[in-house]
Amino acid sequence: MKYFKIIFLIFSISFNINAQNSSKPEMRGVWIATVKNIDYPSNRFLSVEKQKQEFIDMINKFYDIGINAVFFQVRPAADAFFPSKYEPWSEWCTGKQGKAPEPFYDPLKFMIEECHKRNIEFHAWINPFRAVATIKFADIAENHISNTKPEWFFTYDINKYFDPGIPEVRDYVKNIIVDIVNRYDIDGIHFDDYFYPYPVKGNNNKTLKIPDFYTYQKYNSEFKNIADWRRNNMDLFIESVSKGIKEAKPYMVFGVAPSGVWRNKSQDPRGSNTRGLAHYDFLFSDVLKWLENDWIDYVAPQLYWSVENKYADYNTLVKWWSKNTYGKQLYIGHAVYRAKKDAKSSSWRNPDEIQNQIRIARKNPNVYGNIFYKAKDLLNNNLGISDALKNKFYKVRVSTPEMPWLPKIDTTLVAEENNINKDTFFDNKNLLVPINLTAVKLGNKIVLSWKSEKANLTYKIYKFIGYNFENTDNIDVFKTTKDDFLIIERKRFKLFRKKYKFAVSSLNKFGIESKESNIIIIKL
């Protein structure tokens, strides 16, 4: 019966999913927005118990779909979904800015633990410079930084922003981020597309000017125009944040999700063949420079256009970003919120639009996965997208891709932070070693299966040639959170098949690896 189920699964995957992408690590993320309670919590006045249960229900649904990472907005507007010495509790968390949860609990700690129980990564999504969202209706605490340091801010349209041209502002935001990294077991720090504010037109239909000319005069020493100075402010900020994160935890992931167009070809020969709002020119952020200088580990452009869009089509932008990663990882941001029956565009009324976008991304070897916005629309199964993910694209559960340029987790630090006996912590003999590794050949596929005494572990499957999988140069490493099997492609022609050895190990939640299982030999 077990082998019948495996055979059925293989044929399902063959018809519905690219096999390589279904078994190898892949980012399968979702953005959870908290500003104005867009995604979570459903309203700001929920009791603590209902707030907790709502998150558990949400994360269970994401697990069922196949999501392996959440990007949760922990700091939407100079406020916090956690106890902070810098900023007040968020009004969207507790109902009133500055008011702690009653009875008290730490939402961030709780959410991280719930995600990690399910082998889902938790990335802390931070809006660095928005200070007050919609000033007219905002609930501002007396100790909010916009009240205690009003000289640090400017008002643009309906919102209040930190002025990034002030060095103390950049340091202040960086310190908040490093504080989060030091205090919480997060898997990464994440910024979205908001740096300098998006351009807004006033009553005379002219674009409003950002009121930072005085700051430019005070702090500029080398730039002939304010646009280059603003971009340099963002460069200094990103470099500083990156350095702070890596000094605190060198293995910590840091990435950015810019708007989808860096620059258009009409503005820059390096740009994409598009006609969209350029992140470089309007939000004053040179994301390519951040990638090139190793300040960020991945880029997740928000490609919120359809394949048929005449100004900035999805296919063109996937190809462009894949050629401009500078060796870092590329995830594609998808607009699930646009996929609706009543969408104005026929493309977004098409149930296959996002599915086709995923297929296009998977065919590109430089794309390492997807992130979806918004969480609420994914949970609502807009045009069947959640069903498609669960039954087609994410049918085999996998982990996120490793980043080989990052060092291994600092086990000494983690042991000390979690009050774990160092001898026990480092002794991987005490970890659960997978046993009975076997292989079943089924056509052009191999099904590896094993047994484990504990569920919900992460496994590393080693494919290698040579004596020892730890020191050979010819290693293929697969990671999976599936508890008992992995599917691997074989070459179609027997003449070209080679003998490979396979072994499997398990990893605990701290990234410490067990001893390997028995080694088996397979022709692939």
**What is the CATH classification number for the domain harbouring 44?**
3.20.20.80
Residue 412: the pLDDT is 63
> Phi and psi of 458, rounded to 5°?
-105, 145
Domain-embedded: residue 309 = yes
Mean pLDDT of 102-120: 94
Residue 16: the pLDDT is 40
Indicate if 231 and 364 belong to the same structural domain: yes
Residue 30: the pLDDT is 98
pLDDT at 71 > cutoff 60: yes
pLDDT at 8 > cutoff 50: no
Distance CA 184, CA 83 (A): 11
Indicate if 106 and 158 belong to the same structural domain: yes
Residue 20: the pLDDT is 34
Indicate if 70 and 211 belong to the same structural domain: yes
Residue 505: the pLDDT is 87
Domain-embedded: residue 11 = no
pLDDT at 235 > cutoff 60: yes
Least confident piece of the model among 109-118, 185-194, 260-269, 457-466: 457-466
Q: Is 62 exposed, middle or buried (0-12, 13-18, 19+ CB in 10 A)?
A: buried
> 3-class secondary structure for 136-190?
HHCCCCCCCHHHHCHHHEEEECCEEEECCCCHHHHHHHHHHHHHHHHHCCCCEEE
Residue 9: the pLDDT is 42
CA angle 43, 384, 53 (to 5 degrees): 30
> Phi and psi of 131, rounded to 5°?
-110, -40
Domain-embedded: residue 476 = yes
Distance CA 451, CA 439 (A): 12
200 compared with 448, residue with greater pLDDT = 200
Residue 463: the pLDDT is 82
| pLDDT confidence bin for 367, thresholds 50/70/90 | very high
321 compared with 12, residue with greater pLDDT = 321
Q: How many other β-carbons are positioned within 10 Å of the β-carbon of residue 84?
A: 18
Indicate if 387 and 455 belong to the same structural domain: no
271 compared with 499, residue with greater pLDDT = 271
Cβ–Cβ under 8 Å, residues 43 and 81: no
Domain-embedded: residue 13 = no
Domain-embedded: residue 295 = yes
Residue 464: the pLDDT is 81
Of 31, 10, 111, 115, whose CA–CA distance to 481 is shortest?
115
Distance CA 436, CA 519 (A): 9
Domain-embedded: residue 231 = yes
Least confident piece of the model among 201-205, 379-383, 424-428: 424-428
Domain-embedded: residue 206 = yes
Q: Which of 364, 393, 422 is the last residue of a domain?
A: 393
Mean pLDDT over the full length of the chain: 89
Indicate if 107 and 163 belong to the same structural domain: yes
135 compared with 430, residue with greater pLDDT = 135
Residue 443: the pLDDT is 77
State the residue range of the domain holding 169. 26-393
pLDDT at 163 > cutoff 90: yes
Distance CA 305, CA 485 (A): 37
Residue 425: the pLDDT is 53
Write the CATH number for 463: 2.60.40.10
Q: Which of 361, 393, 425 is the last residue of a domain?
A: 393
364 compared with 420, residue with greater pLDDT = 364
Indicate if 381 and 469 belong to the same structural domain: no
Domain-embedded: residue 18 = no
Indicate if 505 and 422 belong to the same structural domain: yes
Percent of the chain with pLDDT over 90: 69
Indicate if 359 and 237 belong to the same structural domain: yes
Indicate if 386 and 467 belong to the same structural domain: no
Q: Which of 393, 421, 454 is the last residue of a domain?
A: 393
Indicate if 53 and 188 belong to the same structural domain: yes
Least confident piece of the model among 3-12, 95-104, 473-482: 3-12
Tell me how far CA of residue 183 lies from CA of 114, 177, 208, 224, in angstroms: 17, 10, 40, 41
| pLDDT confidence bin for 409, thresholds 50/70/90 | low
Indicate if 433 and 381 belong to the same structural domain: no
Indicate if 119 and 154 belong to the same structural domain: yes
Cβ–Cβ under 8 Å, residues 506 and 119: no
pLDDT at 191 > cutoff 80: yes
304 compared with 404, residue with greater pLDDT = 304
Rounded to two decimals, what is the model's pTM?
0.83
Residue 499: the pLDDT is 85
| pLDDT confidence bin for 514, thresholds 50/70/90 | confident
Residue 413: the pLDDT is 63
Residue 471: the pLDDT is 55
| pLDDT confidence bin for 468, thresholds 50/70/90 | low
Task: Give how many domains the chain has, as a whole number.
Answer: 2
Residue 523: the pLDDT is 84
